[in-house]
Structure 1
Amino acid sequence: MPHDARPRYRLAPLLAVLFSVIAIVVLFFTGVAAQQLSSKQPVAAAEPTRSPTKPPARPGLGDKVRDGKFEFVVSRLDCARTRVGPEHLQRTAQGKYCLVSLSVRNISDGTRYFLGRAQKAYDATGTAYGDDTLAGVYANRDTQTFLEKLDPGERVTGRLVFDVPKKAKLTTIDLHDSPLSRGVKVELTSR
């Protein structure tokens, strides 16, 4: 063997041991780092500090609200009747009638019709009630009815009539520009 080859062979085992130690140290620290990352709980983003306030109140009696091409103002709720209409042409409720007095204004550029059947009232349990159109005709006999077309800017006032169980208490009404519109909810209870 040549004289120069010996130191190379002596260094080879030493280098192999050194590389093995380095590999073990790297694997150890990689495993520790991975374990620490997996055990950490995600930190939630800090929420801005808010002063304790009530959520915004839903519109109520007397407030102007809009849905689509109509502006509504609900003025009154009367649930004290079991009959509506003139003496010989009365309509009797299965439970009791709740009359919701409101105005509807056309805020569009074209002629529109207000549809009572697109409106829903809700009681405290969330039960929905549809408009009783025939009772509405009787209840609106002395006023301009909702059956007439509304020209741009024109306002009509009248009452929607809901036949509800005697013990039900209406809390909100969902008013719509049309049966497919998003709607706007109005509180029917006093604030």
Structure 2
Amino acid sequence: MSHDLRQQRRPVRAARSVSPVKVTVAVLVSALAVIALFAAGIAAEQFSHGLPAAGTATTGPPAQAVRAAPSGPAPGEAVRDGKFEFTVTRMDCSKTTVGLEHLKRTAEGRFCVISLTVRNIGDGSKYFVGQAQTAYGTDGAAYDSDELAGLYANRGVEAFLRKLAPGEKVSGKLVFDVPANAELDTLELHDSPLSGGVRAPLRRGRAG
């Protein structure tokens, strides 16, 4: 029986040795794979940060607020120059003559009669000088007031022929002889012939 046991015993084979080169290659491949995955993850994260999320709209830098340009006075709005405050109330450019039947003046073109009020906002009496006022057309042409036509248009009322006391207000008319095809745009008003003047619009919202 012992003989049979000895016959059944087989020599134990030695385990195969793994080549150091193969181990090194395997480690390198694994390391490279990990590095590649890590790099891919970083790239994907940066890419996702650079693009907007789905369903969201891109927005640029906030737009700067646009400031409206300062506007001038509106038609009929009171304007001031020096010691006077002026308010244009009406303009009528339909007449070629002004005055009474036997005492009238005829325009070379047509008359633009501008009604306005003048108020003394100073602390002393002051004359309003009609000759110091100028009208401007839409083409930039300047027109001086016609003093004699203005006297006729005011029908002898001494509206602009006396001193205005502080706080006093008076209404009257200025008359301008303009070409038949001219259109007045603004009226430049002065409290004296040497003042800087202020412009009042005429074209929009005018009457007559």
Same fold (TM over 0.5): yes
Q: CA deviation at 1:143?
A: 4.1
Tell me whether 1:51 sits opposite 2:66 in the alignment. Answer: yes
Q: Residue type of the partner of 2:187? A: I
Unaligned runs of 5+ in 2: 1-62
Indicate the SS of the match to 1:72: strand
Distance in 2 separating the partners of 1:56 and 1:186: 15
Distance in 1 separating the partners of 2:156 and 2:75: 22
Give 1:65's aligned residue.
79
Tell me whether 1:179 sits opposite 2:178 in the alignment. Answer: no
Unaligned runs of 5+ in 1: 1-47
Q: Contact (CA 8 Å) 1:140, 1:159: kept in 2 or not? A: yes
Indicate the SS of the match to 1:138: helix
Tell me whether 1:135 sits opposite 2:161 in the alignment. Answer: no
TM-score, with structure 2 as normaliser: 0.65
Give 1:152's aligned residue.
166
Q: Contact (CA 8 Å) 1:137, 1:145: kept in 2 or not? A: no
TM-score, with structure 1 as normaliser: 0.71
Give 1:100's aligned residue.
114
Q: Deviations over 1:61-117 (max 9, x none)?
A: 321110000000011111000000011001000000001110000111111000011
Give 1:161's aligned residue.
175
Q: Residue type of the partner of 1:108? A: G
Distance in 2 separating the partners of 1:50 and 1:177: 39
Give 1:114's aligned residue.
128
Percentage of matched positions with identical amino acids: 56
Q: Residue type of the partner of 1:157? A: S
Q: CA deviation at 1:145?
A: 1.8
Distance in 1 separating the partners of 2:148 and 2:88: 20
Distance in 2 separating the partners of 1:88 and 1:121: 28
Give 1:3's aligned residue.
none
Distance in 1 separating the partners of 2:194 and 2:74: 23
Q: Residue type of the partner of 2:150? A: G
Give the counterpart of 2:202 among 184, 188, 191. Answer: 188
**Aligned-CA RMSD value:** 1.6
Question: Which structure has the larger Rg?
Answer: 2
Q: Residue type of the partner of 1:66? A: R
Give 2:137's aligned residue.
123
Distance in 2 separating the partners of 1:189 and 1:105: 23
Runs of 4+ displaced beyond 4 Å: none
Indicate the SS of the match to 1:159: strand
Give 2:100's aligned residue.
86
Q: Which is worse superposed, 160-169 or 58-67?
A: 58-67
Q: CA deviation at 1:142?
A: 6.0
Indicate the SS of the match to 2:127: coil
Q: CA deviation at 1:52?
A: 5.6
